[in-house]
């Protein structure tokens, strides 16, 4: 009975997503497309482009800036999609209409309703990463060096990163008042993205030791480094550390998110 109820919630959300597939694709593609077009296509074609784009060739990156950006922009797509798929709907469902009450009336424990939101957002994050990949691979004027050495490792990183993004979205959506959810993107999501080793490998922060160790509390760091390890020859963190930290953030953020979900539903 629980499995059927869980599948019913999932299929309901899938039907809603299918109706909004075009806006979803636009939301996922716009930011990576503009960033790729300016920094990996326009600048290299301009006179003096190499000087204007000092990151075009990064030490230890195993390729041009496009090679560094490929996994980073996939990580951004995963994170933004995961947060948007959970936090934004929760802002409406916990609002004055209390639409969340309809969900928790289904024959499922409250924690399973919250878990369904994480799983559904993870599916959207995987789709977002698959949409961004061809953009980040084909747009750069300098060929991107991408090669998968281990498909199992890449798949595990992709799934863990997507689940972590959903768990973070649940944590944000249950911890912030609905009227303040837009503010979170400016004061939380954007900063952790720029400090998430998206536009540079973690090893490149070695000249700034305090920052290199400070960003280790940021889950996007491990998403970017994990995809970098799985897709490109760029310098990256050890594989075991990436997997361990993604599992840690999944458990921690999942626990915090479900706890907050309980509080908001029963409060």
Looking at residue 137, what is its pLDDT? 83
| pLDDT tops 80 at residue 254 | yes
Cβ within 8 Å of residue 264, ≥6 positions away: 94, 100, 174
Q: Which two tokens stand for residue 94?
A: 């916990």
pLDDT tens column, 8-21: 888 888 887 888 77
| pLDDT tops 80 at residue 130 | yes
**What's the distance, CA 55 to chain centroid?**
23
Of 119, 165, 167, 130, nearest in space to 11 by CA: 119
Q: How far apart are CA 241 and CA 204, in angstroms?
A: 17
- Mean of the per-residue pLDDT values of the chain: 83
pLDDT tens column, 225-246: 999 999 887 778 899 999 999 9
Which helix or strand (DSSP H or E) is residue 158 part of? helix 151-175
| pLDDT tops 60 at residue 146 | yes
Q: With 0-12 CB in 10 A as exposed, 13-18 as middle and 19+ as buried, what is 19?
A: exposed
Of 67, 38, 31, 74, nearest in space to 204 by CA: 67
Cβ within 8 Å of residue 202, ≥6 positions away: 212, 215, 221, 224, 225, 235, 236, 237
pTM strictly above 0.85? yes
Q: How far apart are CA 142 and CA 135, in angstroms?
A: 13
């Amino acid at each position: 009975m629980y499995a059927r109820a869980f599948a019913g919630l999932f299929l309901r959300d899938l039907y809603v997503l299918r109706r909004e597939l075009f806006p979803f694709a636009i939301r996922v593609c716009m930011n990576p497309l503009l960033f790729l077009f300016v920094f990996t296509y326009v600048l290299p074609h301009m006179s003096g482009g190499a000087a204007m784009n000092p990151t075009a060739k990064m030490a230890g990156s195993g390729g041009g800036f496009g090679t560094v950006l490929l996994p980073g922009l996939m990580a951004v797509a995963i994170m933004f999609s995961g947060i948007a798929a959970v936090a934004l709907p929760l802002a409406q469902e916990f609002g004055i209409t209390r639409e969340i009450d309809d969900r928790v009336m289904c024959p499922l424990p409250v924690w399973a309703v919250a878990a369904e939101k994480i799983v559904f957002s993870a599916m959207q994050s995987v789709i977002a990463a698959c949409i961004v990949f061809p953009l980040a691979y084909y747009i750069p004027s300098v060929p991107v060096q991408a090669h998968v050495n281990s498909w199992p490792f890449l798949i595990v990183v992709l799934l863990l990163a997507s689940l972590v993004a959903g768990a973070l979205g649940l944590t944000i959506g249950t911890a912030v008042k609905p009227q303040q959810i837009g503010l979170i993107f400016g004061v939380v999501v954007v900063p952790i993205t720029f400090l998430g080793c998206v536009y540079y490998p973690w090893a490149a922060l070695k000249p700034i030791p305090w920052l290199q160790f400070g960003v280790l509390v940021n889950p996007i760091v491990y998403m970017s480094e994990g995809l970098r390890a799985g897709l490109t020859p760029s310098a990256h963190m050890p594989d075991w550390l990436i997997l361990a930290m993604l599992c840690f953030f999944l458990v921690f953020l999942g626990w915090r998110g479900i706890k907050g979900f309980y509080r908001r539903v029963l409060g």
